[in-house]
Amino acid sequence: MIEIKDVRKSFGLLEVIRGVSLTVRKGEVVSIIGSSGSGKSTLLMCINGLEMIQAGRITVDGTEVHARSTDLNHLDTLRLLSAEGMTMIVVTHEIAFAREVSHRVAFLQSGQIHEIGSPEQVIGNPQRPETAEFLRAVL
Ligand SMILES: Nc1ncnc2c1ncn2[C@@H]1O[C@H](COP(=O)(O)OP(=O)(O)O)[C@@H](O)[C@H]1O
Ligand SMILES: [Mg+2]
């Protein structure tokens, strides 16, 4: 299980993750979608312990994730993820893929989860105008 609570991440004065909370159950697949610059990659780096966070908490199977400044390459990251089982957070621009494989989809905007729900809800029938606008642009 991956638990993300009130996480904030800044680069200098620029706060790019602004209070993200998300719990991913064991075996659950959550896709994160959103425009370029919304913070998807940064959030993933924080979850993988590759970037330090300024506030909040991230735990994987109850163990707190700490940023590692050196020596964690992509292969190690993939090993960590596969050791976690099938629990997955996926960042993708492939909306059809996200719809197919995800239990939940989170639409990220300006470092915040703007809308989250089942693929049918978020991709099929978005409630927020910003989500609908993003989907119109990429689909
Ligand atoms: N290492 C960094 N130093 C400074 N700013 C960064 C760095 N990485 C990302 N950013 C900024 O953080 C914001 C989010 O970027 P990013 O997480 O790459 O978004 P996405 O993956 O959704 O395109 C952008 O404004 C980007 O310019
Ligand atoms: Mg990115």
Ligand 1 centroid–CA 23 distance in Å is: 23
Does the pTM surpass 0.75? The reply is: yes
52 within ligand 1 shell (Cβ under 6 A): no
pLDDT > 90: percent of the chain: 67
Average pLDDT (75-79) is 59
* Per-residue pLDDT, 35: 96
Write the single-letter amino acid at 98.
A
Express each pLDDT in 1-14 by its tens digit.
Answer: 999 999 999 999 99
* Per-residue pLDDT, 54: 94
108-119 CB burial, b ≥16 within 10 A, e <16: bbebebbbbbeb
pLDDT exceeds cutoff 70 at 136: yes
Average pLDDT (58-87) is 67
| Domain ranges within the chain, ordered by starting residue | 2-70, 73-139
* Per-residue pLDDT, 87: 78
* Per-residue pLDDT, 49: 87
pLDDT exceeds cutoff 90 at 135: yes
Nearest CA to ligand 1 atom 1: 11
Nearest CA to ligand 1 atom 7: 11
Nearest bound ligand to the CA of residue 36: 1
Task: Write the CATH number of the domain with boundaries 2-70.
Answer: 3.40.50.300
37 within ligand 1 shell (Cβ under 6 A): yes
Strand, helix or coil for residue 28? coil
Nearest-atom index, ligand 1, CA of 38 = 22
